Amino acid sequence: MIIAANLKTNLTRKESDEYIAELEKFLDKNNFSQEVLVFPATSSLNSHSGKVIVGAQNAYAAKNGAFTGEIGLDHLEEFGIKTILIGHSERRHIFGESQEALVKKFNFYKELGFKIVYCVGEPLEVREAGNKVMMEYISTQYEGIDIGYENLIIAYEPVWAIGTGLTPTLEDIEVIHKELKQKSHAPLLYGGSVKVTNAKEVLACENVDGVLVGSAALYVNHFCSMISYAQELNK
């Protein structure tokens, strides 16, 4: 399974390095076979060799250039980063990234062979409008995306579940994941208020191939427990 930590705007470079070193120790000790991804803040990116795959939370669709406040391919290459998160709801909703901009970013990093974790998910008012409206909304987030891309991982993250402590029921997760799996055979993660207390049940859901974890992943021991659960399930 794929267990991913989105550290968002937390942990300095030193703290992120320590976090990843702890994870490596844990993985080595247990000889686990799970795929573990960590997305540190941009200024916390660093070169790393080991089992943990370090990815960028964001980068612009350019090698370099006049894009104030952004980083480009050169900055990722400096640290050997070949994995990127695209379409996270905070990028879509707080920073107003359009589907068009995300597609551009997706295609740029796809051409370079990056592993891409592409996020989709609906806001609360869309969910409340019913299943049909919700699935139509999520479908628009697949527009322009090469769903057959070999290095694609999709993360379903309902916007209203991110950082709120709320989650869909396990049954809802299974229903939505089943529908999304029909759109793309890429591994499908669930994200949104995954905690050490609910990770086991979420990971056990049908068509859940892993989790993308934000706040709860900041505790490295909690994140390690989630990796253990995935290992126990051995899906």
Q: Give the interface with ligand PGA as residue ranges (CB under 6 A).
A: 6, 157, 162-163, 191-194, 212-216
Rounded to the nearest whole angstrom, what is the least distance from the CB of residue 167 to ligand PGA in the complex?
Answer: 9
Give 50 or 163: the residue with its C-beta nearer to ligand PGA.
163
Find out whether 217 and 6 touch, Cβ atoms under 8 Å: yes
**CB 218 to ligand PGA: min, Å:** 9
Nearer to ligand PGA by C-beta: 73 or 86?
Answer: 86
Q: Does residue 185 carry a catalytic annotation?
A: no
Closer to ligand PGA by Cβ: residue 30 or 164? 164
3-class SS string, the chain: CEEEEECCCCCCHHHHHHHHHHHHHHHHHHCCCCEEEEECCHHHCCCCCCCCEECECCCCCCCCCCCCCCCCHHHHHCCCCCEEEECCHHHHHHCCCCHHHHHHHHHHHHHCCCEEEEEECCCHHHHHCCHHHHHHHHHHCCCCCCCCCCCEEEEECCHHHCCCCCCCCHHHHHHHHHHHHHHCCCCEEEECCCCCCCHHHHHHCCCCCEEEECHHHHCHHHHHHHHHHHHHHCC
State the nearest-atom distance from the C-beta of 208 to ligand PGA, in Å: 14
Least separation, in Å, of the C-beta of 68 and ligand PGA?
Answer: 25
From 48, 88, 177, 222, the catalytic residue: 88
- Of 64 and 164, which CB lies nearer to ligand PGA in the complex structure? 164
Whether 157 sits among the annotated catalytic residues: the reply is: yes
Annotated catalytic residue, options 35, 90, 97, 157: 157
Residues designated catalytic: 88, 157
